[in-house]
Structure 1
């Protein structure tokens, strides 16, 4: 009887564990994207003239974007395709290599933009364009649009 209870408990934990891992992965990547969105938003306001240019804030925002992109693909483990309130497209798992390449390109472009972001508004505008283009292309390919 004791063995049966232990076996049932272990099976139940094994069944729950992937769901918890999936929910945790979704929550983590959503938090990363929320921070990323705030950084992009701050930069966009500077570029559009809606906020005063601040060299330190611009560089910090680019560092946030770079940090988000490094290893971003690791936040999409197998089994986290569904669950939670995710906008991640199944295309991510169908084309993981392409997704990894997109994340690597974002990391590379954001890294290259950190210096220029702090060298004046015109430099920020040039650097921001490449980074924002990465956001758009990745979202077009790998995000499900919510209503």
Structure 2
């Protein structure tokens, strides 16, 4: 089961990479869906609704790190509009801050990959997901 989730996540990210050449908006939406799925799984673990499992925890943080690394490349000038994007203009106005936000998310995700127990997972997961809220607040249009 866990191996299947990891394989599917990898395939999904691979498929997203192929789409990036022609559809950066679609790729970043797929990447955010992967983060959303990992976040839901992590939230269930953090809340005690699902059992802590080191392999699952590592897969969650791996998804976060991979998306964080790739995401800044998915905002070319040509993708400011079109599609159903919620990307705020501030992304292009503050590229340095935007890239810094993803670098922090990637670093927090990498640190989380080393957790070995529930308490450590909760701390690392909280730190990583705090980045999501901060980035969305600054760089995402409100619907």
Provide TM-score, normalisation by structure 1.
0.80
Aligned position for 2:57: 58
Task: Give 2:121's match in structure 1, choosing from 119, 124, 128.
Answer: 124
In the alignment, is the contact (CA less than 8 A) between 1:81 and 1:90 conserved in 2? Answer: yes
Q: Which runs of 5+ in 2 are unaligned?
A: 1-19
Q: Which runs of 5+ in 1 are unaligned?
A: 1-20
In the alignment, is the contact (CA less than 8 A) between 1:23 and 1:84 conserved in 2? Answer: no
Task: Give 1:137's match in structure 2, choosing from 134, 137, 142.
Answer: 134
Give CA-to-partner distance per residue, 1:89-145, whole Å, 9 cap, x none: 1110111111011011111111111011xx111110111111011111001000112
Higher Rg: 1
What is the alpha-carbon distance in structure 1 between the residues aligned to residue 21 and residue 92 of structure 2? 14
Aligned position for 1:10: none
Aligned position for 2:24: 25
Aligned position for 2:17: none
Q: CA deviation at 1:71?
A: 3.1
Q: CA deviation at 1:23?
A: 6.6
Paired residues for 1:55-134 under 5 Å: 55-116=54-115, 119-134=116-131
Q: How many residues align?
A: 124
Give CA-to-partner distance per residue, 1:25-60, whole Å, 9 cap, x none: 100100111001111111011001121212111111
What is the alpha-carbon distance in structure 1 between the residues aligned to residue 43 and residue 142 of structure 2? 21
Runs of at least 4 residues off by over 6 Å: none
Q: CA deviation at 1:79?
A: 1.5
What is the alpha-carbon distance in structure 2 between the residues aligned to residue 100 and residue 84 of structure 1? 22
Q: Which moved more, 1:90-99 or 1:21-30?
A: 21-30
